[in-house]
């Protein structure tokens, strides 16, 4: 019998924010991160992530019986267009644009999400520069996402351990850049024809690049790879220890267009974001939320 060896964990390039820029620990760390589609970014000093952790632990619990400090974090399964039950997977999540965050989340969660968002924008600018897209084109080819327009989602994920299902569907994130925070094992990346664990790196975000960025840079000599990832079934020892994660996404507005750039400095429109998302949702989730990320908030979802 041939023994199947467990796949080696993915070793992530490491980076930190220094002097207003992103500095990698290794000299070609950024290049390798663009190829791999993900890397670890140190959580900057002074960025308090506890509101995000608390939101993930509480949003799915009922408000009744909670103390005054916990109540604003709870009862969010009721939020239509913000709460999503992924019926074929363990995950249930909140997905909120800036408008929905201001309306439904405690102010300290909003402040944390805003900082994560700024950090994701710094990554976007760093990566655009690294693949040689001239700064003059950044606004146009990202449909304004680089300037803070577009849709800046914040997601809070909870993995329901009582479900005997995969944690989260295999997917590529759809936008440009995602800043993900998790503390427990379970995330896996597909590379070299197999799924490999991506262990959390203490004190770090996991940054990954999304499908819009992959498409944008596909024809360049140096391009950005969007990593296919999933979360395996999570079975913690106790229900107090259930898996969670939260993330800030820099995405184009669903009303925008997706572009492709070339090495000659040209660019062209290749799709609408709405079409791209609809196809993606159908292929990925196979549930009733085909308009996930397109028309989720009553305000139209275009923060
Ligand atoms: O929970 C995780 O570690 C991954 C979540 C994820 O991929 C996402 O929210 O897009
Ligand atoms: Fe993801």
* Beta strand segments in 53-203, E: 83-85, 91-96, 151-159, 168-171, 177-182, 187-191, 194-197
Query: So what's the pLDDT on residue 279?
Result: 82
Query: So what's the pLDDT on residue 301?
Result: 35
User: Is residue 154, in this structure, part of any structural domain at all?
Assistant: yes
Ligand 1 neighbourhood includes 234 CB (under 6 angstroms): no
Ligand 1 neighbourhood includes 56 CB (under 6 angstroms): no
User: Is residue 40, in this structure, part of any structural domain at all?
Assistant: no
Classify 19 as helix, strand or coil.
Answer: coil
User: Is residue 144, in this structure, part of any structural domain at all?
Assistant: yes
Are β-strands 38-42 and 14-18 bridged in parallel, bridged antiparallel, or unpaired? Answer: parallel
Domain count, the chain: 1
Ligand 1 centroid to residue 171 C-alpha, Å? 9
- CA-nearest residue, atom 3 of ligand 1: 187
Query: So what's the pLDDT on residue 192?
Result: 86
**Rounded-to-integer distance, Cα 50 and Cα 52, Å:** 5
User: Is residue 250, in this structure, part of any structural domain at all?
Assistant: yes
Q: What is the pTM of this model?
A: 0.92
Ligand 1 neighbourhood includes 128 CB (under 6 angstroms): no
DSSP state of 145: G
193: left (phi over 0), alpha (psi -120 to 50) or beta: left
Ligand 1 neighbourhood includes 166 CB (under 6 angstroms): no
User: Is residue 291, in this structure, part of any structural domain at all?
Assistant: no
Ligand 1 centroid to residue 266 C-alpha, Å? 34
Ligand 2 centroid to residue 157 C-alpha, Å? 10
**Ligand 1 atom with minimal separation from the 178 CA:** 10
Question: What stretch of H or E contains 50?
Answer: helix 50-58
Distances (CA, A) of 55 to 94, 106, 168, 172, 225: 10, 9, 19, 24, 31
Query: So what's the pLDDT on residue 281?
Result: 74
**Rounded-to-integer distance, Cα 147 and Cα 128, Å:** 13
Query: So what's the pLDDT on residue 302?
Result: 33
Domain residues for the domain of 280 are 46-186+209-217+234-284
Ligand 1 neighbourhood includes 245 CB (under 6 angstroms): yes
Ligand 1 neighbourhood includes 180 CB (under 6 angstroms): yes
Ligand 1 centroid to residue 136 C-alpha, Å? 32
Among 140, 179, 160, 279, CA closest to 231? 160
User: Is residue 13, in this structure, part of any structural domain at all?
Assistant: no
Instruction: Point out the residues of the chain with pLDDT beneath 50.
Output: 296-303
Ligand 1 neighbourhood includes 95 CB (under 6 angstroms): no
**Rounded-to-integer distance, Cα 266 and Cα 264, Å:** 6
> Residue 162 sits in a domain of what CATH number?
2.60.120.330
Phi and psi for 188 in degrees, rounded to 5?
-135, 145
- CA-nearest residue, atom 1 of ligand 1: 245
Nearest ligand, CA of residue 56? 1
Query: So what's the pLDDT on residue 87?
Result: 86
Ligand 1 neighbourhood includes 38 CB (under 6 angstroms): no
Ligand 2 centroid to residue 153 C-alpha, Å? 12
The ipTM is 0.99
User: Is residue 90, in this structure, part of any structural domain at all?
Assistant: yes
**Rounded-to-integer distance, Cα 210 and Cα 274, Å:** 15
Ligand 1 neighbourhood includes 231 CB (under 6 angstroms): yes
Residues 258 and 174: beta-carbon distance below 8 Å: no
User: Is residue 141, in this structure, part of any structural domain at all?
Assistant: yes
Query: So what's the pLDDT on residue 300?
Result: 35
């Amino acid at each position: 019998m041939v023994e199947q060896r467990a796949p080696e964990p993915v070793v992530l390039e490491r980076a930190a924010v220094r002097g207003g820029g992103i500095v990698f620990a290794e000299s070609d760390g950024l290049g390798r991160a663009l190829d791999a589609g993900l890397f670890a970014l140190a959580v900057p000093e002074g960025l308090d992530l506890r509101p995000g952790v608390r939101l993930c632990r509480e949003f799915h619990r009922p408000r009744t019986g909670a103390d005054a400090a916990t109540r604003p974090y709870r009862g969010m399964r009721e939020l239509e267009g913000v709460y999503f039950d992924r019926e074929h997977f363990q995950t249930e999540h909140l997905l909120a644009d800036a408008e929905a965050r201001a309306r439904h989340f405690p102010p300290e969660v909003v402040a944390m999400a805003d900082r994560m968002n700024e950090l994701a924008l710094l990554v976007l600018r760093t990566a655009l520069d690294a693949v040689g897209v001239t700064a003059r084109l950044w606004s146009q080819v990202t449909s304004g996402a680089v300037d803070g327009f577009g849709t800046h989602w914040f997601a809070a994920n909870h993995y329901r351990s009582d479900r005997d299902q995969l944690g989260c569907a295999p997917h590529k994130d759809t936008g440009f850049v995602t800043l993900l925070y998790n503390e427990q094992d379970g995330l896996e990346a597909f590379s070299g024809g197999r799924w490999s664990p991506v262990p959390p790196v203490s004190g770090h975000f996991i940054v990954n690049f999304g499908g819009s960025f992959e498409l944008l840079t596909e024809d360049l000599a140096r391009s950005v790879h969007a990593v296919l990832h999933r979360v395996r079934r999570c079975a913690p020892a106790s229900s107090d220890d259930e898996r969670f994660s939260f993330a800030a996404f820099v995405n184009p507005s669903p009303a925008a267009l997706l572009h492709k750039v070339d090495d000659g400095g040209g660019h062209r429109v290749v799709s609408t974001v709405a079409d791209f998302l609809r196809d993606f949702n159908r292929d990925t989730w196979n549930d009733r939320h085909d308009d996930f990320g397109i028309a989720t908030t009553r305000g139209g979802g275009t923060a």
